[in-house]
Amino acid sequence: MIFVDTTFWVGDADANDDFHASAHLGIDAIRKGEAAMALTTDFVLDETVTILGKRKGFGAANAAKVGQNLLSSPRVFAVYVDEALMNEALKRFPEFNGKLSFTDVISLVVMSRYGVREIFSHDKDFDGIEGLKRIESPTHH
């Protein structure tokens, strides 16, 4: 599995997004089974739908469809943050000294729980985190 961050879901869905080309390449590879299955969280899905819903020319109805498609995809495994994950993320949050959002720390905790070490993200805040490889320009093999 590979963790998929908000920037990839948003970039794939919105053809006008600055990261559309690279995000679409990665998400399309997941859809077609050419890349590992996607791991994500309900927090990331929340961000994705919220961001897309506020974008001019995209709209709430299309944003909701994106969310529904992610949840119904057999290639996407969505983790719902429970109290144990929340508590672990709250413990770890100070380690990053404000560099990572709470949602990003939750993503790291989920990745750790599932043994995932790669993330599709355009968010440079993930750079330099031990044991994590950020991929922003996926290529087909």
The full set of domains in the chain, from first to last, is 2-80+118-135 (3.40.50.1010)
The predicted structure's pLDDT at residue 138: 80
DSSP 35: S
127 close to 134: Cβ distance less than 8 angstroms: yes
Handedness of CA 98, 83, 132, 14 (dihedral sign): negative
The predicted structure's pLDDT at residue 7: 96
Q: What distance in Å separates the CA atoms of residue 127 and residue 133, rounded to the nearest whole number?
A: 8
Share of the chain above pLDDT 70, in %: 99
Q: Which of 97, 108, 85, 15 has its CA nearest to residue 55?
A: 15
Q: In what side-by-side order are the strands of the sheet with 2-4? A: 76-79, 38-41, 2-4, 118-120, 133-135
Query: pTM value?
Result: 0.95
Q: φ and ψ at 111, to 5 degrees? A: -60, -40
Overall average pLDDT of the 1-22 stretch: 96
Taking the mean position of all CA atoms in its chain, how far away is CA 59?
A: 20
pLDDT digits (tens, 9 = 90+) for 23-79: 999 999 999 999 999 999 999 999 999 999 999 999 999 999 999 999 999 999 999
Strands (E), the chain: 2-4, 38-41, 76-79, 118-120, 133-135
